[in-house]
Amino acid sequence: MRKLEKREYDAVVVGSGPNGLGAAITLQQAGLSVLVIEGKDTIGGGLRSAELTLPGFVHDICSAIHPLAAESPLFKALPLHLHGLEYLTPPISAAHPFDNGTAAVLKKSIAETARLLGADEESYLQLMKRVVTDWPNIAHATLGPLTIPKHPFALARFGLNALTSAELLAKMRFETMEARGLWAGMAAHSIQPLSNLTTSAIGLVLMAMGHLRGWPVPKGGSQSIANALASYFTSLGGKIETGLYVHSLKQLPSSHAVLLDVTPKQLLKIAGHQFSSVYKWQLQKYRYGMGVFKVDWALDGPIPFTAPECRQAGTIHLGNTLEEIAASEKQTSAGLHPEKPFVLLAQQSLFDASRAPEGKHTAWAYCHVPNGSLVDMTTAIEKQVERFAPGFRDLILERHVMNTLQMETYNANYIGGDINGGIIDIGQLFTRPALRPSPYRTSAKGIYICSSSTPPGGGVHGMCGYHAASRALKDIFNLKPLSLK
């Protein structure tokens, strides 16, 4: 087992995903000496890119499209453009095709998006105009722990819709197939049945991000975000060590604070012996959600979607109607594998020529599966793509697949293929990973958790890391983090 040099740091961060790097940057900005330790040979966690299929075809191994990264209060406060990060924004953020050959779309203009929803135009405007207007005032509260908000009325307006189930909101707000389908595809990012409370929250946030900034693609791959964060961190004097998988706190050099970008399962293995019995019990009761089965393709040309709008979108939601998507997610949550799963697809190479050789393309897709499933969903996913893009399978040059076990082997935080660090339902929305005054503190002094298993949960935004580091700065060092606008 490789050992680190014997020197003391103010803080050690375990894990170099967006939250680990976000925590490390926040601590380093406060003038501390910080070490980041990464188990893999490359940094990034869920932000890595690689040639998974054929030479010259660059695929995002995990996350692909980044509306939350582009609008993250933390990332926006950092000069990441000076460290090589460039976003490319498709003209249509997301498209949702139907069996009749048409598609509903999410565009930057609220009015233009609403106009295409027919009879639901006014309903959509009433719903989204308020969320978009309020977002600057509620971003911190929404992307953080439960606290007394600075703008309680704006947050209450958001919460009134966000805490409802996606099915109920659709029933109350929309009547057309187009609006209901578009909404279902957005809400299904919550990775749970659409009948669950709070499933409207992610739909509202993603739609608001589309109207505020669009859903951008990082040029060169998602790895570009990790590289920019790491470059900025080291420019401040921070240090990163790769290739050292942490199994125990004994492996770490001396420090005043340790922040772990891990989920409760790994946290117990690494530091459980230092925790109180009540805290350990809470971590043991933590619940993980559905997993994902993922496919990457090297293609001989762009995907030939029937609906022309889909050829201008970075993200495609494949599931037809709200009823079909809701049924699929309900079956998956119950441990089944739907014949027609809801599929999230990204086509980055349409907007980033660096992803594939000239004239060729890449595509990325996944569907939800029961946690820990080893069922091969390749055929089911490809049938869903072919359903809305006849001729798609004839373009496949090579494919790369990952089931839930392979996802977890690749990134230990993806327990059973759960990419959200635990289900974000009403039972774990405010108590992840445990019911405590601060969700980032463990029961052991100086040990903190900074992963997506803490508020605000999954997504590439770094805010879990920022809030955990802010807590450590106050507790251990009596320092305040740099404020975010």
Confidence check: pLDDT of 6 > 90: no
Counting beta carbons within 10 angstroms of the beta carbon of residue 8, is it exposed (0 to 12), middle (13 to 18) or buried (19 or more)?
exposed
Residues 273 and 333 in one domain: no
The 10s digit of each residue's pLDDT in 202-214 is 999 999 999 999 9
pTM value is 0.96
**What CATH number does the domain containing 225 carry?**
3.50.50.60
Q: How far apart are CA 355 and CA 377, in angstroms?
A: 25
Residue 482 lies in a domain: no
Residues 6+ positions from 307 with CB-CB distance below 8 Å: 95, 97, 98, 101, 102, 103, 388
Q: Name the one residue in this structure whose structure tokens are 């964060």.
A: 229
Residues 184 and 320 in one domain: yes
Residue 1 lies in a domain: no
The 10s digit of each residue's pLDDT in 141-180 is 899 998 888 899 999 999 999 999 999 999 999 999 999 9
Residues 370 and 397 in one domain: yes
Residues 47 and 109 in one domain: no
Number of residues assigned to the chain: 485
Residues 253 and 296 in one domain: no
Q: How far apart are CA 14 and CA 39, in angstroms?
A: 8
pLDDT of residue 247: 96
Nearest to 265 by CA among 241, 282, 245: 282
Cβ neighbour number for residue 252 with a 10 Å cutoff: 18
Residues 339 and 197 in one domain: yes
**What CATH number does the domain containing 322 carry?**
3.90.660.50
Residue 188 lies in a domain: yes
Residue 485 lies in a domain: no
* Domain endpoint, select from 363, 384, 410: 410
Single-letter amino acid, residue 173? R
Residue 4 lies in a domain: no
Residues 307 and 263 in one domain: no
* Domain endpoint, select from 410, 439, 462: 410
pLDDT of residue 280: 98
Strands (E), 55-183: 59-60, 87-88, 92-97, 103-106
Residues 305 and 404 in one domain: yes
The 10s digit of each residue's pLDDT in 271-311 is 999 999 999 999 999 999 999 999 999 999 999 999 999 99
Residue 375 lies in a domain: yes
Four-point Cα dihedral 311, 312, 318, 322, nearest 10: -130
* Domain endpoint, select from 389, 410, 431: 410
Residues 433 and 388 in one domain: no
Domain span at residue 388 reads 88-214+289-410
| H or E element, residue 294 | strand 291-299
Q: Name the one residue in this structure whose structure tokens are 């992803």.
A: 355
Residues 30 and 145 in one domain: no
Cβ neighbour number for residue 168 with a 10 Å cutoff: 15
Q: How far apart are CA 23 and CA 451, in angstroms?
A: 10
Mean pLDDT confidence for 447-472: 97
Contact between 182 and 96 under an 8 Å Cβ cutoff? The reply is yes
Residue 3 lies in a domain: no
Residues 310 and 399 in one domain: yes
Residue 371 lies in a domain: yes
Residues 305 and 401 in one domain: yes
The 10s digit of each residue's pLDDT in 243-256 is 999 999 999 999 99
Confidence check: pLDDT of 1 > 60: no
Residues 6+ positions from 41 with CB-CB distance below 8 Å: 242, 243
What's the domain count of the chain?
2
Q: How far apart are CA 11 and CA 475, in angstroms?
A: 13
Q: How far apart are CA 366 and CA 401, in angstroms?
A: 9
